[in-house]
Amino acid sequence: MSSPVLSVSVDTRLGDALEAMVRTGRRHLVVVDTAGRCAGVLADRAVAAAWAHDHAALTRLTVAQALDPDPAVVNSHAKVVDAARLMRARGVDAVAVLNPDGLPMGIVTGSDLIALLAG
């Protein structure tokens, strides 16, 4: 799990989220609502897909508009295998790890799983 979490708010423009990804070298951002609770995980491929569909998307759309309505998340007591199974079942390469209040604690990515296996 990568922690601390790099997050953006639901009202962040896609272009600003992309800039944060490029600046930090990350492919995923945890998206939070106004109370700081996880609303989902924004992947670089979701940004690319939105831009491919509409070249004005980076300035016109917010990250909330690019999120899956059913976010891929696990609780803080989940096992690594639970995160991996969820990623496979949902076809995503990252899941947010949440505390009992729904606040993001970290993120597990496919790269994290590979690093764990390569040990």
Tens-place pLDDT, residues 78-117: 999 999 999 999 999 999 999 999 999 999 999 999 999 9
Please give the pLDDT value at position 69: 86
Please give the pLDDT value at position 47: 97
76: DSSP letter: T
Distances (CA, A) of 67 to 29, 41, 72, 98, 115: 11, 7, 10, 17, 27
Measured CA to CA, the distance from residue 37 to residue 32 in angstroms comes to: 5
Q: Which amino acid is at 8?
A: V
Beta-carbon count within 10 A of 71 CB: 17
Tens-place pLDDT, residues 34-79: 999 999 999 999 999 999 999 999 999 999 999 988 999 999 999 9
pTM above 0.95, yes or no: no
